[in-house]
Amino acid sequence: MAKLDPAHGTFNPGAVLRGTLTALALTFVLSLAGGLVYFFTSLPEQTMPVLSAGIILLSAAAGAFVAARRAGGRGLNHGLAVGLATFILLWVAALLVSPASASPQGVLEKLSLAVLGGLLGGFAGVTFLP
C-alpha cells in the first residue's frame, strides 16, 4: 500500500473520497444483510438500533482505515474527514427517504458514532502502515 508520506503534513482529498465511498458501500452491504437477517429470522426489532449503530461505527472505521492507508499519514485528520463525510451523506439520504424520522438525539448519536469510527479507523490505518 502507501508508504509514509515524506511531507507528512499534506491532506489527501482523494484518499478521503476513496474512504468515504468505501464506508458508504460497506454501509449499504451491511444494511442489506441486516435487513435479510431480520426478515428471515425471529430477531426482535428492538435490536435494530444496536445493529444500526454497529454498522455506522464499523463502516466509518473501515473507510477511515482505507483513507489513512492511502494517504500514508495524518490518520486522525483523514479519519475524521471520512467520518464526517459519511455521516453527512447518510444523513442527507435519510432525510430524503423519511424527513420526519431524524430526531436531534438520533442525529447526534449517529454523528458521534461516525466520528468515533473515523478516528479509530484513521489511527489504525497509520499504525499498520507497511
Predicted local confidence at residue 94, as pLDDT: 87
With CA atoms as reference, report the closest residue to 5 among 103, 94, 75: 75
* pLDDT tens-digit readout, 27-45: 999 999 999 999 999 989 8
Distance CA 79, CA 84 (A): 9
**pTM of model > 0.85:** yes
CA 118 to chain CA centroid, Å, is 6
pLDDT at 1: 46
- Whole-number Å distance between alpha carbons of 32 and 22: 15
Q: Which residues of the chain have pLDDT under 50?
A: 1-2, 4-5
